[in-house]
């Protein structure tokens, strides 16, 4: 009897290559963002899409705050059309990051999600910036 893992046949290597390559076109992770920051190789704009108050309380160092609801053509006009945005929210329990990615892509910008958001950043043991430096699970406000 096959295990729960193998009872559904895995994708072919070619299908797996296509699938996981596509995921990397849409996602990055906290460790990669931190590593690029540490190396001084930041070729993207890191955006916290939560409310201004949530951002002031705590955020990823190097991030700017553009709440999703403020992402308009006028607001984003200061950015070159070839700007790559990396967006994050409170964590994997919030889809505000996806709304922000849809909005930015709709405005013609390249966008990737920093998977895990603030919760992932803390889980990686990386430092936060801001007033409260809360721990994961104790109040990272979404307010997207």
pLDDT in tens, 94-126: 899 999 999 999 999 999 999 999 999 999 999
The answer to the question of residue 52 being in a domain is: yes
The answer to the question of residue 98 being in a domain is: yes
Number of domains in the chain: 1
Please tell me which residue in 30, 89, 142, 144 is annotated as part of the active site: 89
Residues with Cβ within 8 Å of residue 102, at least 6 apart in sequence: none
Phi-psi region of 9 (alpha: psi -120 to 50; beta: other; left: phi over 0): beta
Residue 42 or 93, more confident? 42
pLDDT in tens, 27-72: 999 999 999 999 999 999 999 999 999 999 999 999 999 999 999 9
Question: 59: domain range?
Answer: 27-123
* Whole-number pLDDT of residue 135: 44
| Mean pLDDT computed over 71-90 | 97
Burial class for 134, CB neighbours closer than 10 Å (0-12, 13-18, 19+): middle
Question: What CATH number has the domain bearing residue 54?
Answer: 3.40.250.10
Residue 133 or 89, more confident? 89
Report the C-alpha gap between 6 and 116 in whole angstroms: 28
Residues with Cβ within 8 Å of residue 83, at least 6 apart in sequence: 44, 45, 109, 110
The answer to the question of residue 9 being in a domain is: no
What is Dmax (Cα atoms) for the chain? 60
The answer to the question of residue 131 being in a domain is: no
Q: 99 near 47, Cβ under 8 Å?
A: no
* Whole-number pLDDT of residue 138: 45
Given strand 64-65, what is the order of strands in its sheet? 27-29, 110-115, 84-88, 45-48, 64-65
Q: Please confirm, yes or no, whether 89 is among the known catalytic residues.
A: yes
The answer to the question of residue 114 being in a domain is: yes
Confidence category of residue 132, pLDDT binned at 50, 70, 90: low
* Whole-number pLDDT of residue 130: 85
* Whole-number pLDDT of residue 139: 55
């Amino acid at each position: 009897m096959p295990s729960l893992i193998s009872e559904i046949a895995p994708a072919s290597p070619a299908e797996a290559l296509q699938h996981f390559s596509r995921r990397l076109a849409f996602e990055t992770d906290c460790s990669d963002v931190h590593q690029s920051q540490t190396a001084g190789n930041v070729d993207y704009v890191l955006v916290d899409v939560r409310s201004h108050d949530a951002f002031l309380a705590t955020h990823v160092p190097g991030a700017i705050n553009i709440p999703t609801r403020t992402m308009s053509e006028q607001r984003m006009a200061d950015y070159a059309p070839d700007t790559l945005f990396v967006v994050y929210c409170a964590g994997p329990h919030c889809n505000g990051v996806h709304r922000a990615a849809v909005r930015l892509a709709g405005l013609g910008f390249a966008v990737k999600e920093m998977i895990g958001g603030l919760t992932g950043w803390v889980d990686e043991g990386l430092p936060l910036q801001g007033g409260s430096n809360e721990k994961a699970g104790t109040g990272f406000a979404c307010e997207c």
